[in-house]
Amino acid sequence: MDLSGKVAVVTGSGRGLGLAYAKALAAAGAAVVVNDVDPDAAAAAVEEIESAGGRAEAEAADVGTTRAATALVTRAVDAFGRLDVMVTNAGVLRDRMLWKMTDDDFDTVVRVHLRATFTCVRAAVRRMREQNEGGRIVVAGSPAGQRGNVGQTNYAAAKAGIAAMVRTWAMELARDRITANAVIPVAATAMTRTIPAFAPYVGALERHGTPLPDALRKGEGFGTPEDVAPLVAFLASDAAAGITGQCVGIGGDRLALWSHPKETAVAYADGGWSADAIAAAWPVSVGRAPEDCGIPAPSFAGESGEPGKSGEPAR
């Protein structure tokens, strides 16, 4: 994948998936602005990219504000002359059951995921439209946003909102040849490495380089950040010029296309529906096969022999 001449911003790329994205984009020839709220992590990422022969600049910022978004785009233009790819990846979790979730838990997650995606993409698109040479938007969704997840009111709402924005941007940005797609990743990072059934395998991989078993890589679609990063490089490339408005899943050995919500059953009542008519019709019409919710629990037993104990393979 040749991205030489292109300039990318990756938010939250000091570690985890973002770091793998920044490294993959740089290895393919793009110049990368590495953003993270942790300046040391951003600086270390730049050092790693440069020592591998890539081009990168650090821009430490807490994303979620217009000011931070503007700083990222300005840095790309000042350092490398243009902007072609915006990857919004920064993320935090504040998991709690609904009745314990504070306003701050909700607002923090919505700011770092949903608002940061909006502000960074808006700033990037303004620059891309000026350049008038197209562009690439790649955002971070999640299985939790696609399906809901226990303890994640804030996160599921933010990620579902991000998927909704991608579908909207695919239409709004088509004329400017700017594509917008969501990656729905699953990978061993700080967010996920503690899942009980997976933890011993993640530990063995990190300590000894022992490959994850097929039951994880294929069965659960669970792998490393480096397994996810090639999808971002692909979506950033000219080869993906015709792909937009999609939610693409990737993890381990698995690549998948997520469906968009659509009506699955419809019923009609002349003159409209009364509450009683809905109650009567529900079990035999639209309510006959209700949709299920949540991320399926892992079937992988792991060393603990307790399949699906956490019920949460992917944030």
Could you tell me if 162 and 185 are in contact, meaning their C-beta atoms sit under 8 angstroms apart?
no
Decide: is 236 part of the binding site for ligand NAD (CB under 6 A): no
DSSP-assigned beta bridge partners for residue 251 = 254
Decide: is 8 part of the binding site for ligand NAD (CB under 6 A): no
Residue 12 CA to residue 19 CA, distance in Å, equals 8
Location of structure tokens 């690439």: 136
Instruction: Give the x/- contact pattern for ligand NAD in 38-77, rule: CB under 6 A.
Output: x--x--------------------xxx-------------
Instruction: Give the x/- contact pattern for ligand NAD in 127-156, rule: CB under 6 A.
Output: -------------x-x--------------
Q: Which is nearer to ligand NAD, 29 or 308 (CB)?
A: 308
| Burial tier of 214 (Cβ tally within 10 Å: 0-12, 13-18, 19+) | exposed
Name the residues annotated as catalytic.
142, 155, 159
| Residue sitting closest to ligand NAD (CB) | 16
Q: Which is nearer to ligand NAD, 19 or 30 (CB)?
A: 19
Q: Which is nearer to ligand NAD, 203 or 287 (CB)?
A: 203
Among 98-106, 163-171, 184-192, 262-270, which window interacts with ligand NAD (CB under 6 A)?
Answer: 184-192
The minimum distance between CB 273 and ligand NAD, in angstroms, equals 38
Q: Which long-range contacts (CB under 8 A, 24 or more apart) does 278-287 make?
A: none
Could you tell me if 197 and 309 are in contact, meaning their C-beta atoms sit under 8 angstroms apart?
yes
Given 135, 151, 185, 249, the residue binding ligand NAD (CB under 6 A): 185
Among 86-94, 97-105, 200-208, 299-307, which window interacts with ligand NAD (CB under 6 A)?
Answer: 86-94
Geometric angle at alpha carbon 234, from 230 and 240, rounded to 5° = 160
Residue 84 CA to residue 138 CA, distance in Å, equals 11
Q: Which is nearer to ligand NAD, 192 or 237 (CB)?
A: 192
Buried/exposed 23-50: b ≥16 CB within 10 Å, e otherwise: bbbbbbebbbbbbbbeeebbebbbebbe
Among 30-38, 46-54, 73-81, 119-127, which window interacts with ligand NAD (CB under 6 A)?
Answer: 30-38
Geometric angle at alpha carbon 238, from 179 and 50, rounded to 5° = 100
Residue 98 CA to residue 96 CA, distance in Å, equals 6
Given 8, 10, 18, 115, the residue binding ligand NAD (CB under 6 A): 18
Neighbours of 222 (CB within 10 A): 28
Single-letter amino acid code for the residue at 206: E
Buried/exposed 123-136: b ≥16 CB within 10 Å, e otherwise: bbbebbeeeeeebb
Decide: is 33 part of the binding site for ligand NAD (CB under 6 A): no
Q: Which is nearer to ligand NAD, 14 or 161 (CB)?
A: 14
Given 17, 85, 120, 195, the residue binding ligand NAD (CB under 6 A): 17
Among 50-58, 190-198, 211-219, 296-304, which window interacts with ligand NAD (CB under 6 A)?
Answer: 190-198
Residues that bind ligand NAD (CB under 6 A): 11-12, 14-18, 35-38, 41, 62-64, 89-92, 112, 140, 142, 185-187, 189-192, 314-315
